[in-house]
Structure 1
Amino acid sequence: MTNNFWIDIGVNLTDSSFDKDREQVIDQAYEHNIEKLIITGTTVEESHQAIELCQRYPNQLFCTVGIHPHYAKDHSTQQFESLRSLYKEDCVVAVGETGLDFNRNFSTPEQQVLCFEKQLEMASETKLPLFLHERDAHKKQIEMLQSHRDDISAAVAHCFTGTKSELYNYLDLDLHIGITGWICDERRGQELQMLAKDIPEDRLMLETDAPYLIPRDLKPKPKSRRNLPLYLPHIAAKVAELRGTTIEELKYQVQINTQHFFGLGDTH
């Protein structure tokens, strides 16, 4: 591939904060050499919306399809049948956002486990990779992943902010690691900054998680607190600095990783 570009693996483009300027946000990303965006699906309804958006921007937008643990309480047989049909769409590149979140427990742990189990089975059926969320539930999440890992093609720990032992637990399962602007936070991101070098170069991917997690060290600080895909190169610069590599070397490596992981080759 002669043309190196950025790919943002986690953008919540269906979020209402983008209702007034969604097209402009996509165009700005492209102008900043972020040529592909992967929209995060968190409910059946939002996954539908993500697919509709992708179909308007073929080869530029892709999406995940799934039920976030916050919404696990709403899951039903009918919803899973809807998901199953959505996985057949060409723009759908992963199962998720799925996983466990025992921090807020918007859905009970029992509901989350049932919903996650079903999506692990779907990843096994479809051979699509997993786009994973986890908060304060690492032990249970690892346990469930271990029992399914042989049947799953690949998985990424989206927005990783964990400890060294949690990082190595994921790497022991051959997971990829998604890094966000959390790494630019001088308060909360210190541990992640120290772990940046520990992520194997072929396991690293980058994301903004826009509109959330705007990098705290942006200068000048945007008037809006909304994160945008166009800030991905800023996050990448911090990662490159911490890993002791050049921005161009990092861009080349994460592009290869991401295209291979999500199947974004010449077939799309």
Structure 2
Amino acid sequence: MIDSHIHADTRPFEDFEAMAVSGIREAVTCAHDPLEMLSSDVVMAHFRRILKVDPHRAALNGLKLHTALGVHPRAIPHDYMKVLEELPELLSDPSVVAVGEIGLDSGSETEMNVFIEQLRIADETDRRVIVHTPRSGKEEITPLIADLLSQHIDERRAVIEHVNMDVIPLLIESDFMLGLTVQPEKLTPQEAVQILKEYGTDRFVLNSDMSSSPSDPLSVPRTVHRMRISGFGEGDIMRVSEKNIRKFLKIKN
């Protein structure tokens, strides 16, 4: 299994062991907003942490971490252009598999400018993008996110995260990959299974989005377990828990 979206810098050492014991072999850790990003220096320190420190902590427990780098919409410093100027070079690190987590939260003009600029960078560097949708105002902000993505990058190169039954009907006819975040306050394993029953497994990936918010590092294996109980075959289970994200991010076996 691959947990397709986590924030490893906020989690204790023991969580990585629990994930590995449960059958998760790989995970994608994304940049986010663990601190108040008052300047580009803070953002760059965050990038260094998730590039070097957390992969080592996870590897000691048998968990391989891949990295996504980008300016989260809640982590935009006043001098964000300094970060964006450094981002193309940072993306050349072999552990980096995507630009992310980027997107919109409030939908402000600054958020949109930073989002569009990072989409340009992703397009020029041939990178996939991992895209945040907000907890509040999801139905209003998600169509704007989708429109900006469609204007600036091939839809097949973006995964829109934290989707739920309120926005899936707006996205299901697109070519985006869709991320099901199984986390307290987002989706339960049962809700994720219900979505997969209704829409199939070709377009979805599972993740825990574990962070400093209420989280369950075992939410992906719990959802896989619930899928088996609900009668899903191993092919469908493998698609949403590993194959789709491996193919999307071009992660080698």
Q: Same fold (TM over 0.5)?
A: yes
SS at match of 1:101: coil
Partner of 2:36: none
Normalising by structure 2, report the TM-score: 0.80
Q: Which residue of 1 aligns with 2:245?
A: 258
Residues 1-268 of structure 1 mapped to structure 2, 5 A cutoff: 6-15=1-10, 18=11, 21-22=12-13, 24-42=14-32, 43-53=43-53, 55-56=55-56, 57=59, 60-102=64-106, 109-135=108-134, 136=137, 137-150=141-154, 154-163=157-166, 166-181=167-182, 182-184=186-188, 194-211=194-211, 226-239=214-227, 244-246=231-233, 248-254=234-240, 255-266=242-253
Q: Which moved more, 1:108-117 or 1:47-56?
A: 47-56
Aligned length: 230
Identity %: 21
State the Cα distance separating 1:92 from its structure 2 match. 0.7
Q: Unaligned stretches of 5+ in structure 2?
A: 33-42
Q: How much has 1:59 moved relative to structure 2?
A: 7.8
Query: Per the alignment, in what secondary structure is the counterpart of residue 69 of structure 1?
Result: coil
Cα distance, 1:194 vs structure 2: 4.8
Quote the offset at 1:28 in angstroms. Answer: 1.9
Distance 1:170-1:123 versus aligned 2 partners, 3 A rule? farther
CA RMSD of aligned residues (A): 2.6
Letter in 1 for 2:218: L
**Counterpart-to-counterpart distance in 1, 2:79 and 2:216:** 30
Tell me if the contact between 1:183 and 1:235 (Cα under 8 Å) persists in the aligned partners: no
42-51 or 108-117, which moves further after superposition? 42-51
Q: Aligned to 1:143, what secondary structure does the other structure show?
A: helix
Which blocks of at least 5 consecutive residues in structure 1 are unaligned?
1-5, 103-107, 214-225
Q: Which amino acid aligns with 1:138?
A: T
Cα distance between partner residues in 2 of 1:251 and 1:185: 13
> Secondary structure at the residue paired with 1:229?
coil
State the secondary structure of the residue aligned to 2:85.
Answer: helix
The answer (yes or no) to whether the contact 1:156–1:178 under 8 Å persists in 2 is yes
**Shift of residue 26 of structure 1?**
1.4
